[in-house]
Amino acid sequence: MVFAENQYQEGTRDTAWVFPGTALDGFSSGLESLFSQHVLRLPNRCTLLIEGDECRAVYYVRAGWLALSKALEGGQNQIIDFALPGDIVDPSGADGVTASVTVEALTDGALAAMPYRSWEAMTGEQPALHHLAHRMESAMHARRAERMLRLGRGAAEMRLAYALVEFCIRISPDSDGRNCEFHIPLTQQQLGDYVGLSSVHVCRTLRRMARNGILEMRDHMDIRVLDPRSLACLAGVDVEALKRAIMPQGA
């Protein structure tokens, strides 16, 4: 299902539009008025944009998970990143009008689809918001650089361990790392598309981590980290340093 950008509900006031505990807190009085005019609700498994489409908006993720991906002509898919609640997503390339990635909803979700002019006006009027958006973009680049390093140089366990550490930090930023439990709404194939592994390799690696007492899995992709020190060691990260790099604090 492809979801056209012009399907967002212009002028619709969403009284339940409350910003989550993210770096955007503190701007909510001004942003709520603007964002609520551009409400976009996405059903699970719909496609918001296809790579190469005209892109006319910046998206603020209110709820749900988005996958940003690219594909080769032969159909091989690579998930570049996930957008989680609180993230700002600008899918356009350098020309400012063409989507550089495909954007798909992995769950039911809610976005603010803000036309570029509205977003530029808002950030121009609020320098602190402009600064914060820049820091969020820097965090995104840091996150992708860390994963790219492991995709290019790391073995399967390192790639998967890094992804799990990153998810834990992004989903539970206040966690001290000792009792991190989280759900990722992904199939093993989608997780493999993120870390550059086959679904079979993902399954085997997760089972090996479970056998070694590093984590446990319940139901489908309900993860509980039992040994965060070992997981961080496999990932090759200092968790606190990684958190500072990929989780921008409030301005």
- Look at residues 197, 187, 168 and name the one whose alpha carbon lies nearest to residue 67: 187
Same domain, 173 and 119: no
Tokens of 85: 């609640």
CA dihedral in degrees (248, 157, 221, 67; nearest 10)? 50
What is the pLDDT, as a whole number, of residue 149?
97
Helix 127-153 with 116-125: angle, nearest 10 deg: 120
Domain count, the chain: 2
> Do 116 and 142 have their domain in common?
no
How much is the pLDDT for 172? 84
Residue with more model confidence, 176 or 185: 185
Per residue in 2-29, pLDDT (tens digit) is 555 444 443 333 433 333 334 455 555 5
What pLDDT, on the 0 to 100 scale, is given for residue 204? 96
CATH, residue 150? 1.10.10.10
Residues 111 and 147 in one domain: no
- Final residue of a structural domain among 125, 158, 175: 125
Last-in-domain residue among 93, 125, 157: 125
Instruction: Judge if 119 and 142 occupy the same domain.
Output: no
* pLDDT exceeds cutoff 50 at 50: yes
Residues 164 and 119 in one domain: no
Give the CATH number for residue 20. Answer: 2.60.120.10
**Same domain flag for 107 and 168:** no
Are both 10 and 117 inside the same structural domain?
yes
Same domain, 99 and 143: no
**What pLDDT is recorded for position 86?**
87
Residue ranges making up the domain that contains 197? 138-246
In a domain, 251, yes or no: no
Do 145 and 96 belong to one domain?
A: no
- Say if residue 184 is in the same domain as residue 241: yes
The answer to whether residues 167 and 109 belong to one domain is: no
Residue 133 lies in a domain: no
Quick check: is 131 in a domain? no
Q: Which of 13-17, 84-88, 105-109, 184-188 has the lowest mean pLDDT?
A: 13-17
> Mean per-residue pLDDT for 121-125?
87
Whether 212 maps to a domain, the answer reads yes
- pTM of the predicted model, to two decimals? 0.86
